[in-house]
Amino acid sequence: MKKIVFIIESLHHGGAEKSLVTLLNFIDYNNFDVKLLLFRKGGEFEKFVPKEVGITYINPFDGINKVYLLFLRARFWINKKLNKNKRYHNAQLFWKTFGNSIRANKITYDTAIAYNQGFATYYVAEKILAKKKYSWLNTDYIKAGYQASFDYNKYTQFKKIICVSKENESAFIKSNKLNNKVLPTEIIKDITDDLDIKKKCFEKTEFDSKVDEFKILTVGRLAKAKGFELAIKASKILRDKGIEHKWYVIGEGSERENLERIILEENLENTFILLGYKENPYPYINTCNIYVQTSLFEGLGLSVIEAAILQKPIVTTNFPTAPSLITHNETGLICKMDPHDIADNILVYIENKEFKNKIINNLSKLKNDDKEKSLAKFNKLI
């Protein structure tokens, strides 16, 4: 039986984390002994990991002398302060500071998979023993701020770098070409389980008592990359135009305090509402009037795919992968990263019911076979 290990920092809510848990539920455990290494405990998605998967929690600082660890933390803080021009991603600075002091894993595996870029990739490259190694790339490598020259020696340890979209593969290749380097890549899209989404979308939520509200919904981590400041400004534009609505956001993250401040400044506390993390976002998507994604960049854009599966009128900003998720004016609307354009595209659905119904009808005819294709590619890989 082949021994496979997946490594990811945690299973706190996020696209890569959701994708990994979905994948784990489709592995044939008669043929594979699967382990999962996590560096932070208590992630919301941990409860969805199949019982066949053995989870190990690793403290990367275990074994480091406490006084030396304080010295390293101080160095990391200084390195971040000196990184004003954002030459390095924080994950790169972290590994640059702590990497040599982190213990190697002593178990040998047939296959080791780093399921996101940054820390997990560096750990698998330098601290895991395996016959084959693969690294998953779940973001736009350039826009996320990674420095290819720092990563190159790590990525050479992998048989392939698995990209979740053509666009994030292109960004990765472009970044390495700037350094005259080439690395082997393959595209395997994140898995979405249509049947599971449709089964879960009818659960009861607080939205059921708000049938008279016009509900706009966005799902995503409260992070700068998700462009929520654009969403707040677009909501204000709609309100100033006399459009009564509630704009709900499902997700949690480091930007909450900043976003709450902006919401208060715009007097939108009763209009733009941060709902926090929801274990099951699908009933909220299913009962909203319009689904809006305001991301600045995405590795793929799972939430847009999920909204399309539930046949919702979609407005999304034109991040690189957006055209691969929906077709403008056919299965949704793609707009500029501008609050006025976001608001204008929302108004298209509100003011033109015939167009909205056309979009919904087109979405109903789509067949999503990404799951089958991705699973076939994954099984071939391992």
State which of 170, 188, 206 marks the end of a domain.
188
Taking the CB of residue 350, how many other CB atoms lie within 10 A of it?
17
With respect to residue 369, please indicate whether it lies within any of the assigned structural domains: no
* Cα–Cα dist 67/374, whole Å: 47
Query: Are 230 and 182 in the same domain?
Result: no
Q: Looking at residue 368, what is its pLDDT?
A: 79
CA dihedral 160, 161, 166, 172 (to 10 degrees): -130
Q: Looking at residue 212, what is its pLDDT?
A: 84
Our count of domains for the chain comes to 2
* Cα–Cα dist 375/191, whole Å: 8
State which of 122, 156, 188 marks the end of a domain.
188
With respect to residue 372, please indicate whether it lies within any of the assigned structural domains: no
Query: Are 205 and 290 in the same domain?
Result: yes
Give residue 93's Cα distance to chain centre: 21
Q: Looking at residue 138, what is its pLDDT?
A: 93
* Cα–Cα dist 168/66, whole Å: 39
Q: Looking at residue 82, what is its pLDDT?
A: 87
Query: Are 198 and 137 in the same domain?
Result: no
With respect to residue 45, please indicate whether it lies within any of the assigned structural domains: yes
Q: Looking at residue 178, what is its pLDDT?
A: 80
pLDDT per position in the chain (382 positions), as tens? Answer: 899 999 999 999 888 999 999 999 999 999 999 999 999 998 889 999 999 999 999 999 998 999 999 999 999 999 888 887 788 999 999 999 999 999 999 999 999 999 999 999 999 999 999 999 999 999 999 999 999 999 999 999 999 999 999 999 999 999 998 888 899 999 999 988 899 999 999 999 988 878 789 999 999 999 999 999 999 999 999 999 999 999 999 999 999 999 999 999 999 999 999 999 999 999 999 999 999 999 999 989 999 999 999 999 999 999 999 999 999 999 999 999 999 999 999 999 999 999 999 999 999 998 878 889 999 999 999 8
Q: Looking at residue 249, what is its pLDDT?
A: 97
State the DSSP H helix or E strand holding residue 22, giving kind and residue range, or none if neither: helix 15-24
Domain hosting 168: range is 2-188
Cβ(132)–Cβ(111) under 8 Å? yes
Query: Are 183 and 227 in the same domain?
Result: no
With respect to residue 379, please indicate whether it lies within any of the assigned structural domains: no
* Cα–Cα dist 199/282, whole Å: 9
Query: Are 180 and 206 in the same domain?
Result: no
Assign residue 172 the CATH number of its domain: 3.40.50.11930
* Cα–Cα dist 131/226, whole Å: 37
β-strand partners of 160: 134
* Cα–Cα dist 217/214, whole Å: 10
pTM of this structure:
0.89
Query: Are 67 and 199 in the same domain?
Result: no
With respect to residue 167, please indicate whether it lies within any of the assigned structural domains: yes
